[in-house]
Structure 1
Amino acid sequence: MLRGPIDTKVTVKIQRGQETLTLTITRKIIRVDSVTASLLPGKIALLEISTFQENTGEQVRKALADLTPKGEALRGVVLDLRDNSGGLLTQAVEVVDALVAEGELVIVRSALGREAEDAAAEVNLPPDAAVVALINEDSASAAEIVSGGVKALGRGVVVGRPSFGKGTVQLLKPQNLYGRELALKMTIAEYQVAGDTKIQTVGVRPDLSIYPVELSDITAVANYFDTERFERRRESTQVAHLPSAKHEAAFAGKAAGDGPRLRYFAGRQGTRCRAPPRARRRWPIRRCRSPATWPTRWLAFGQQAARRQARRADRRDRRPRGSEDRRRHRRHQDRLGRRARGRQRPHPRAARASSTTRRSPPASRSPCASRSPTAAASLPSAST
C-alpha cells in the first residue's frame, strides 16, 4: 500500500497511545548499503556483507580501493559473511571475481546441462594478500558461493561453523486459479563451487571451527556450547524428515566432520558473575589475580568438568552387561564389603567394656538345665 511511483505522496495515520498522528510521506527509492568497510591495524580490510543485492559487487570493489593506503597494498581481507542469508547469485560471483584471477567461480547444473563461469584476469587485491571468510550456520546461498569459492580455489581460509547448506535455485511461477492468486515454487537448478563441490545440505565446512563459551549468572557454571545446538539450524537437519532426504544422506555427515576446533570466550550471560573466593586454591591457574584473567580460569574449570564427565562415561561403559558379568561384579562387591567390614575398628569404650565385663551364659527354659548331673540323678522318677 505504501509503494508507488517515485515523488508521489501518501498519507498515513499512526496511533501512538491515545494520540493519532497524520503523516504525509513522499515516495523515494530506498538504498541500503550491503557492505560496511573498515581498516584494521596492520593494513587489514574488514568487509561486513549483510546481503547480496544489485550493487554489492561494485561496493566491494570500491571498498577495497578506498581502504588501500596510498603507495602501499593491503596485507589481507576479512569477509564477514555471518548471518548472511544470501541474495543475488550474480553479485556473489562478482565478489569472488574481485579476489581471484583464474578458475571456475560457480557451476550451475540444470536440465540444460553443466554451465560454468570463469574468473577474469583483473583483480582488486594483490595475489600475496591473505583472505579469510567468516561464516556460521546462518550463512546461506550466495554467502556460501563466496566462502566456498574462496576455499575451493585456494585463495584463502574459512573460519567459523558449517554453513546452512542451501545450494539450489528456485523459480516462482504465479498462477490465478478460480479467482485466487497462487504461486508455484519450483527448483530448477543446483549450483556448486569450483571442483564441482556440492553445497546443498552439506554447506561449507570451515578450515577452523570455533564454538563459544559463555559465563552464566550462576557461580562456577559456564555454557559450554556443543555442535548439536548449531546443527539443528542447518538445512540437513530441517529436511531430514522429508522422503527426498535419503538422497542426501551420503553427504550430510561431511560438513560436521572432525577438524581443528577452537573455543572462544563470548562474554557473560545474564547478570555479572564474580569469581568464587576460594577459586585460587582449587583451580590449576594460580597466578590469575586480576578480573581480566577470570575468563581463562573459567575455561580451565570447563575443561576440568569435561574431563570428569569423560571419566564418568568411561566408568559407565565398564559396568557389567550380561548375567555372568553381573554375578562376577556382585561377588567382587561382596568381597570389597567384607574387606571394609574387617578393617572397621570397634569404639574404644565398647572395647574396654567387653574386656572387663563377662557375660553369663543365657538361661535355658528347661528346669534341669541349671542343675548338676548328680542333683538331677537324685530326683525321684515319676511313676507312670
Structure 2
Amino acid sequence: MKIKNMPIAFRARSIALGLLVFLPLAGIGTSLSANIEGAYTAVTPTIEQARANILISRQLQFTHFRDQAINDELADEVFDDYLDYLDGQRVYLTQEDIRDFQPLKAEMAAALRTGQLQPGFEIYNRVQQRIIERMDYALGLLDDGLDQFDFSSDDEILLDRSETEWEPDQEALDKLWNKRIRNAVLGQRLNGSGDDEIIEVLTRRYESQRKRVSQMRSEDAFQAYMNAFTGTWDPHTNYFSPRNSENFNINMSLSLEGIGAVLQSDNEYTKVVRLVPGGPAARQGQLGPADRIVSVKQEDDDTPTNVIGWRLDEVVDLIRGPRGSTVTLEVVPANASDETVTRSIDIKRDKVKLEEQSASSEVIELERNGEKYLIGVIDIPTFYADFQAMQQGDPNYKSTTRDVRRLLEKLRNEQNVDGLVVDLRNNGGGALHEANDLVGLFIDQGPTVQIRSSDNQVQVLSDQDPSVAWDGPMVVLVNRMSASASEIFAGAIQDYGRGLVVGSQTFGKGTVQAVRSLNHGQLKITQSKFYRVSGGSTQHRGVIPDIEIPSRVDTTRIGEDALERALPWDQIEAVPHTRYFDFSGMIDELRDRHASRFDESPEFRLLQQEIDFLREQRKTTMVSLNEDQRRDYQQQLEHRQLTIANARREIKGEEPFESFEAMEEYEEQQAAEAHGNEDDELDFIVREGGHIMADMLELDRRMASILPVDTVTAKAE
C-alpha cells in the first residue's frame, strides 16, 4: 500500500581522575566476547576513546545545565537507553542476553567515570552478533519460499514493541521473526508486488543489514555508547566522532547541498525531523516530519541501498550528491499503518538559496458587515542573515529583520493595510539576534529574551532601537514546527501584549548548546535555557496560543515534550517590560467568533476529518497477518483517504478522483513537476488569522494604533 500525502558548582570530584585512563581496558565484568563466533569480528575500545570518555564525564558533571552525578541510578538509565538504541523494538536480544548483561550493568557507573569502556563494547558486540543471527534466520526463511507461510490464520503482530519485554529465548524469537517476515511479505503484496519480486527485495534488505553489521568499527560502538550516556542529561547533548566533527551538526549538513532536511537517528531508522524552508524536499512536497527512511537510490543505480540500521552520517553521505542529480528515498510515512507501508520519493538535489528562504508578503481583503479590511500577511520561513555579506560590509546584506522592515513599509505606506498577520508556521528558528531585532520592529525598546546559564547567571537581550516599524494590531501564526527563535519572537509579542498568538502549541525548544572539542571528537552540550521576559521558559512547554487551531502533527512524536529526558519547564523572575494592550476584555468573544466560523467552515471540517483519521491510525497497535483481513483493512484506509482528497477537491471546485489509483497518479505527477501537494490548511488558516484581526478591530478601534498602557515587573504566573 502506498500513502501519498540550575546552578552547578564546579567542585573537585577526584584529582587523580586523569590517571585512571591507564587502567587495563578489559578489566571490568565478565567478558561476553567468547560467545561471538566467526560471523562477526568483535570491536574493542582504544586508549583515545577511553580518554574521551573521561573528558565527556567531566564536562557533563561540571558544565551541563542539569546537575546530576554519575551514580548507579544514572547508570541504570544509560543501560536502558543503550539497549533501546541497539534493540529498541526487542527483536534481536532475548531475556537470556539481558540476564548476561547484569554484571556489566552493576559496574557501569564506575566504568563511565573512569574511562572503562568494556561494558559498553561487550553489550555492543553481543547485539551485533544477534543481529547477524536474525538476518541469517530471515534469509533462511526466504530461501525456503513463501509457500511455507500461512496467510489465512488469525495471527496478529504488534506494531510497536518498544514497551514490551524481550522474548524469553531463541525459540520464541524465531516465532516472532516468522511473524515479521509474514508481515513484510503482506506489505509488499499489498503494494502490488509479485512473490518473486518480494523475495528479491526482502533478501536484498536483510543481506544489506547483515553486511552493514559485518563492517562495524570500534568508533560505531563508542559513539552509540557515549550518546546513550550523554542522552541521560538531555536529548540535545551529543557526542560526535572525529569523522562527524568535521561537520558536527549533521542535521544541518543536508541543508547546504542535498535535499534540505533535518535528520536524526530513531532506533534502526533515520527519521526526518523537519524540512528546511526553500529546500528541494520542501519544494517537492512529499517528504514530511517523522517519515522514516528505508532505502536510498541514486539516479544511475538500478537497485536501492537499504539503510535500516545504518549510522546517521552514512545515510547523510548517501543522500548527499551533485547538485542537479536525483536521489530516491523509500520512506515509511509518519501516518503509515505499519513499517511495511512505504512510498518512494524522487528529490532533485540542490542548494538552499537564501532568496527562497526570504520573508515575503501579500495582502488579503476581507468584507465584514459591509466594511472592507485589508490585512497584510508576512511569511517568515526562517530567521536568516547573510553573515558573509555582513562581514564584508555590504550595506545591502539580507537578513530577516531588514527584509521584514522593508515589507512593513510597503504594507503600511503603499497598501494601507488595517492589520498584520505574521506567519511563523514551520519556522524552525535560526539566528538568535534576528529574533531579537525582529521583536524590536514592534516595540519602542526593551528586553526580548532572557538566557540563563548553568552557573545561574542571567543575560538579558534587548532591543535598543526606539523606532517602531509597525504600531498597529497583529496576529502571529504558529504551529508545532515553530521552534527556538520563532518561540522567542511569539513569546515576546504575547508578553508585550503587542498581538495575539494563534495556532497550535509550538515545539518547545528552549535550550542553548555549545560545542566543546575533545581529544577524540566533539561534545555538543546544553549549557543554557531561554526564558521569556515574563519569566517563563520556552523549554518543553513552548508558546501556548491565545486562540488554538488543531494540527495534523502528532505531538506524541514531534516536539520537545515528546523527547526522553528533555529539560523541564520552569520560570525565573520577570524583567520589566511594557504592556501594550490587554486582550482579556475581548479574548472570549474572539474565541467564540473563531469557533463559529470554524463550525461553518468546510476547510476546517476537512482538517478535523484528517486529524481524526490520523488519530485512529495512531491508535492501531496490532495488524492482522491474515491476507484477506489485511486487504479489507487496506481498502478501508484507501477509501478514507480518497474521501478526504475528494472533499478537498470539492472545496476547490475541482472534479473528484474516480479511484484511489487516480489520486495516486495525480499526486505523483504533481511531485514530478515539483509542485508538491498543495496544502489547503495553510490558505484557510492565514485567512482565519485575517478574520481574527478584523474581529479585533471591530471590537476595539483603539487597536488601530497600539500604545503602551503599563509596565510589567511581576514574576510570571
Q: Which digits, 9 at most, give the CA deviation of each residue in 1:200-224, with x for residues without a partner?
A: 1011010011126xxxxxxxxxxxx
In structure 2, what is the equivalent of residue 190 of structure 1? Answer: 529
1:49, CA displacement in angstroms? 1.0
In structure 2, what is the equivalent of residue 210 of structure 1? Answer: 549
Say whether residues 1:139 and 2:482 are aligned partners: yes
Judge conservation of contact 2:536–2:571 (CA < 8 Å) in 1.
Answer: no
Distance 1:73 1:122, change over 3 A: farther
Q: Which digits, 9 at most, give the CA deviation of each residue in 1:153-190, with x for residues without a partner?
A: 1100001111111111111224452xxxx221011211
Out of 42, 45, 66, the residue aligned to residue 376 of structure 2 is: 45
CA distance in 2, matches of 1:168, 1:24: 36
What amino acid does structure 2 have at the position aligned with 1:93? N
Judge conservation of contact 1:161–1:210 (CA < 8 Å) in 2.
Answer: yes
Distance 1:198 1:272, change over 3 A: same
Judge conservation of contact 1:137–1:231 (CA < 8 Å) in 2.
Answer: no
Judge conservation of contact 1:85–1:141 (CA < 8 Å) in 2.
Answer: yes
Distance 1:162 1:90, change over 3 A: same
1:236, CA displacement in angstroms? 1.5
Distance 1:51 1:115, change over 3 A: same
CA distance in 2, matches of 1:166, 1:23: 32
What amino acid does structure 1 have at the position aligned with 2:418? R
In structure 1, what is the equivalent of residue 460 of structure 2? Answer: 116
In structure 1, what is the equivalent of residue 354 of structure 2? Answer: 31
Distance 1:67 1:188, change over 3 A: same
Judge conservation of contact 1:152–1:194 (CA < 8 Å) in 2.
Answer: yes
Distance 1:188 1:265, change over 3 A: same
What amino acid does structure 2 have at the position aligned with 1:265? R
Judge conservation of contact 2:531–2:571 (CA < 8 Å) in 1.
Answer: no
* Structure number with higher strand proportion: 1
Q: Which digits, 9 at most, give the CA deviation of each residue in 1:221-252, with x for residues without a partner?
A: xxxx7x9x43542211223xx3x75x55999x
In structure 2, what is the equivalent of residue 271 of structure 1? Answer: 642
SS at match of 1:145: helix
1:46, CA displacement in angstroms? 0.8
SS at match of 1:90: helix
Indicate the larger mover: 97-106 or 130-139: 97-106
CA distance in 2, matches of 1:236, 1:146: 20
1:266, CA displacement in angstroms? 3.9
Unaligned runs of 5+ in 1: 5-13, 213-224, 252-258, 276-290, 293-384
Judge conservation of contact 1:103–1:194 (CA < 8 Å) in 2.
Answer: no
CA distance in 1, matches of 2:416, 2:523: 50
In structure 2, what is the equivalent of residue 311 of structure 1? Answer: none
Distance 1:152 1:23, change over 3 A: closer
Distance 1:116 1:40, change over 3 A: same
CA distance in 2, matches of 1:155, 1:59: 20
SS at match of 1:68: helix
Judge conservation of contact 1:139–1:164 (CA < 8 Å) in 2.
Answer: yes
Listed as ranges, the matches of 1:64-103 within 5 Å are 64-70=408-414, 73-103=416-446
What amino acid does structure 1 have at the position aligned with 2:473? A
1:29, CA displacement in angstroms? 10
Unaligned runs of 5+ in 2: 1-246, 248-252, 258-297, 303-321, 326-349, 366-372, 386-398, 573-587, 599-603, 611-640, 652-717
Listed as ranges, the matches of 1:149-188 within 5 Å are 149-177=492-520, 182-188=521-527
SS at match of 1:57: helix
CA distance in 2, matches of 1:29, 1:86: 16
CA distance in 1, matches of 2:645, 2:436: 49
Q: Which digits, 9 at most, give the CA deviation of each residue in 1:291-310, with x for residues without a partner?
A: 87xxxxxxxxxxxxxxxxxx
Judge conservation of contact 1:57–1:94 (CA < 8 Å) in 2.
Answer: yes
In structure 2, what is the equivalent of residue 233 of structure 1? Answer: 558
Aligned-residue identity in percent? 27
1:116, CA displacement in angstroms? 1.4
SS at match of 1:203: coil
CA distance in 2, matches of 1:36, 1:162: 24
Larger Rg: 1
Distance 1:131 1:171, change over 3 A: same
1:118, CA displacement in angstroms? 2.9
1:81, CA displacement in angstroms? 0.8
Judge conservation of contact 1:103–1:153 (CA < 8 Å) in 2.
Answer: no
1:142, CA displacement in angstroms? 0.3
Distance 1:266 1:192, change over 3 A: farther
CA distance in 2, matches of 1:29, 1:230: 28
Judge conservation of contact 1:104–1:193 (CA < 8 Å) in 2.
Answer: no
Judge conservation of contact 1:51–1:85 (CA < 8 Å) in 2.
Answer: yes
1:92, CA displacement in angstroms? 0.7
Listed as ranges, the matches of 1:200-349 within 5 Å are 200-211=539-550, 229-239=554-564, 242=565, 248=569, 262=595, 264-266=604-606, 270-272=641-643
Indicate the larger mover: 60-69 or 266-275: 266-275
Listed as ranges, the matches of 1:11-30 within 5 Å are 16=300, 30=353
1:135, CA displacement in angstroms? 0.8
In structure 2, what is the equivalent of residue 313 of structure 1? Answer: none
SS at match of 1:43: strand
Q: Which digits, 9 at most, give the CA deviation of each residue in 1:63-93, with x for residues without a partner?
A: 11122343x7432111111111111110111
SS at match of 2:458: strand
CA distance in 2, matches of 1:231, 1:28: 32
In structure 2, what is the equivalent of residue 216 of structure 1? Answer: none
1:104, CA displacement in angstroms? 1.6
Distance 1:164 1:59, change over 3 A: same
CA distance in 1, matches of 2:550, 2:570: 25
SS at match of 2:534: coil
Judge conservation of contact 2:509–2:560 (CA < 8 Å) in 1.
Answer: yes
Distance 1:16 1:191, change over 3 A: same
1:147, CA displacement in angstroms? 0.6
Distance 1:250 1:190, change over 3 A: closer
Distance 1:176 1:148, change over 3 A: same
CA distance in 2, matches of 1:80, 1:136: 10
CA distance in 1, matches of 2:426, 2:353: 22
Judge conservation of contact 2:555–2:562 (CA < 8 Å) in 1.
Answer: no
Distance 1:73 1:271, change over 3 A: same
In structure 2, what is the equivalent of residue 221 of structure 1? Answer: none
SS at match of 2:406: helix
Judge conservation of contact 1:166–1:235 (CA < 8 Å) in 2.
Answer: yes
Aligned residues: 232
CA distance in 2, matches of 1:80, 1:23: 30
CA distance in 1, matches of 2:518, 2:382: 29
Distance 1:185 1:205, change over 3 A: same
Judge conservation of contact 2:537–2:571 (CA < 8 Å) in 1.
Answer: no
What amino acid does structure 1 have at the position aligned with 2:462? D
